[in-house]
Amino acid sequence: MRIALLGGTGDIGQGLALRWAYDTNHEVLIGSRDPERARTAAEEYETELDSRGVEASIKGFANEMAADRADVVVLAVPPYHAGDTVDAVADKLDAETVLVSPAVGMKGDEDGLHYHPPSAGSVTALVAGRAPDGVSVVGAFHNLAADKLANLDAELDLDTLLVGDDEDAKETVGQLAEGIEGLRALDAGPVANAAEVESITPLAINIARYNDGMHDVGVRFH
């Protein structure tokens, strides 16, 4: 499968790119608004993988080009760019494309981070509302510990929660997730249930802040 990571130069994009290239045979494309930045990041990821004996071909493109070539498009961009990024690539998406939303709206104050969704109720719902008709949207990869994800020496043992209204698309993303070693995909229901999934991200950051010895916190349900 061909996966485009739009905003793939950021921390969650880096982690997913490295893990998919290291653990699976999926083809990874890095997208950025600036194609030169995308190419630079792609080369860095290739170098990192090469140092571990993995010969991966990761290519960098402008977001539109990356989206055009991919089966699955991950919006690994800040939450306030999620809608604009969907608009920018909309005419490159078709009914077979699965759009994945991992972004979380948060605001911080002296107490910690707080969940701060857009008026659509969640970033996933915002993306689902902006996506072209027929394009399936799945919320996933919100609650991953980004530094652990990007460190191929770190064992994950984490859950990622999926929300989506299209069961086939959710199944596709679940399989992509579970291709990463130590990552388990759990179904949290339709897009309407996304807010509770997204709001784990500020909580995990607060837990890392308030508990000695906890860094880069992820979650497991059982």
Report the side by side order of strands in the sheet with 158-164.
59-62, 27-32, 2-6, 72-75, 98-101, 136-139, 158-164, 183-187
State the minimum distance, in angstroms, from the CB of residue 102 to a copy of itself. 16
Among 53, 95, 111, 133, binds a copy of itself (CB under 8 A): 111
Our CA dihedral for 107, 108, 111, 115, rounded to 10 degrees, sits at 20
The contact pattern for a copy of itself, residues 113-142, with x = CB under 8 A and - = no contact, is -xx---------------------------
Question: Reduced to 3 states, what is the DSSP secondary structure of residue 39?
Answer: helix
Q: Is 188 in the site for a copy of itself (CB under 8 A)?
A: yes
Q: Is 147 in the site for a copy of itself (CB under 8 A)?
A: no
Give the nearer residue to a copy of itself in terms of CB position, either 58 or 163: 163
d(CA 100, CA 75): 6
Give the nearer residue to a copy of itself in terms of CB position, either 72 or 200: 200
d(CA 166, CA 72): 14
Q: Is 199 in the site for a copy of itself (CB under 8 A)?
A: yes
Q: In whole angstroms, how far apart are CA 185 and each of 23, 83, 141?
A: 16, 25, 9
Residues forming contacts to a copy of itself in the complex (CB under 8 A) are 109, 111-112, 114-115, 157, 161, 186-190, 192-193, 195-197, 199-200, 202-204, 206-207, 209-211, 214, 217-222
